[in-house]
Structure 1
């Protein structure tokens, strides 16, 4: 496989140089079995153990951080994560790169920021790579921590999105309810104005009825007073006529008596 040095993508995770993946490799002549056996016996045992450990580490790293693959000019290139152990200087450089990229990409210092989250995710992946090279078990444990953090963040994101949707629905309902209440308020105001007009009309009618009743009462009292005065006058006239008639009757009786005395023959 041919190797090729190309600029790495903007990531904090350290990768090896890309290699060309050939689909059809030339078949090499198989070595005799005896030579292979001799080579196996000739290889030191410690070297075999180190090779197996390194291969296992590479497999774990490829599981944690899958290699990148892309096609260029009809050729398939692959870039595996680096298996080089990290030194103290590498950690210091990682921190400096993180701060520099946070400043370059204008990541927010607080609140929700996808840029800051992506950079810290890359930094954590690089730390997992560095730890896995030295201790695979510790790297797998950090992988569990990373996955749990991602699940928690995704759960919070889903909750945030659902809360936003719920808030929007409630806001729309509140707006609709507000418009309905405003319409009810307008209707109640109109009804209040109509009732006030009715009250004014009823008050005017009541005042008119009171005036009419007072005028009617005064007219009836005046009429009653006039009737009483007329009756008293009539009564007085009748009394006068009665006394006159009584005197007339007496005079008639007296005149008749005198007349009878004059007409009667003398004895």
Structure 2
């Protein structure tokens, strides 16, 4: 018989429940001892008397076992076609058991190389087993405290599950955004390339227009200089002509001596 993975929770010895080789019929019944007296002539000795617990103690023990089984269900596994069941132990824990539990916890943390900080599934598993064992020990002494600790354990697990769901949702959201960004990256790169090409074309057009504008300004400047020179020459010509006409007119008008 190979038991399942060892746990920090204390269990009773495994019990064989059924075998594949057992062939039971619906009519099969448990054997009963015949009430007839034995053939021997001598008196039959009575079996040794067993101390039976009182009714209240038996009922309390049964209730404790039921609570333990509801908190920590029995482990079941199949080996070679045989079904084995292992129930949680209902034996009260001593001070030595608690010390051994602490030492075993530290040993397994070191053996399985659990991280001391951060998220560590190994550390969480071992501490969960240790907490279950503490719940078992407390439940045996006081079922009410055990049930209260059970509520605390379930609340912690529910909170961790909520955080895990939130983390997985965040990771999935981040992955979706990353994929969307990756898909839009090529379109964005093409858009950037088109804008850069358009920018270079516009810069080329600007340079051509600047050159054309400079050419027009130079041509206009040269033409203006030519016009100014021509205008100046005309003015000078007109001044000379005016002076000549004035001189001639004065010569005509002036009286002869």
Q: TM-score range by the shorter chain?
A: 0.7 to 0.9
Question: Aligned residue for 2:222?
Answer: 215
Correspondence 1:9 to 2:5: yes
- Structure 1 residue 29 corresponds to structure 2 residue 32: yes
Structure-1 residue corresponding to 2:143: 136
**Which position in structure 1 is the counterpart of 2:168?**
161
CA distance in 2, matches of 1:108, 1:188: 52
SS at match of 2:13: coil
Aligned partners of 1:94 and 1:153: how far apart in 2?
Answer: 24
Name the SS for the 1:70 alignment partner.
Answer: strand
Give the distance between the partners of 1:16 and 1:8, measured in 2 at CA: 13
Structure 1 contact 107–116 (Cα < 8 Å) conserved: yes
Which of residues 40, 53, 58 in structure 1 aligns to 2:65? 58
Q: Distance in 1 between matches of 2:51 and 2:98?
A: 34
> Which stretch shows the higher mean deviation, 207-216 or 93-102?
207-216
1:201 Cα offset (Å): 2.4
Q: C-alpha offsets along residues 73-107 of structure 1, whole Å, 9 cap, x if unaligned?
A: 22221111001100000000001111111111111
8 A contact 1:14–1:81 mirrored in 2: yes
The 5 A counterparts of 1:36-185 are 47-172=54-179
1:229: how far off?
5.7
Per-residue CA distance 1:160-203 (angstroms, 9 max, x = gap) = 11122233344555666777666665555544444443333233
Kept after mapping to 2: 8 A contact 1:6/1:17: no
Q: Unaligned 5+ residue runs, structure 1?
A: 33-41, 247-267
After superposition, where does 1:174-253 map in structure 2 within 5 Å? Answer: 187-227=194-234
Task: Quickly say closer, same or farther: Cα 1:149–1:232, change in 2 above 3 A.
Answer: closer
- Report the Cα distance in structure 2 between the residues aligned to 1:7 and 1:188, rounded to whole angstroms: 70
- My pick for the range that moved more, 207-216 or 16-25, is 16-25
- TM-score with structure 1 setting the length: 0.71
Higher relative contact order, structure no. (Cα contacts within 8 Å, ≥ 6 residues apart): 2
The 3-state SS of whatever aligns with 1:128 is helix
Partner of 1:123, secondary structure, is: helix
Answer whether contact 2:4 2:77 (CA < 8 A) is retained. Answer: no
Structure 2 length as normaliser, TM-score?
Answer: 0.73
Q: How many residues in Structure 1 have an aligned counterpart in Structure 2?
A: 232
- Please say if residues 13 and 123 of structure 1, whose CA atoms lie closer than 8 Å, have aligned partners that are also in contact: yes
CA-atom RMSD, angstroms?
3.6
Q: Distance in 2 between matches of 1:10 and 1:162?
A: 34
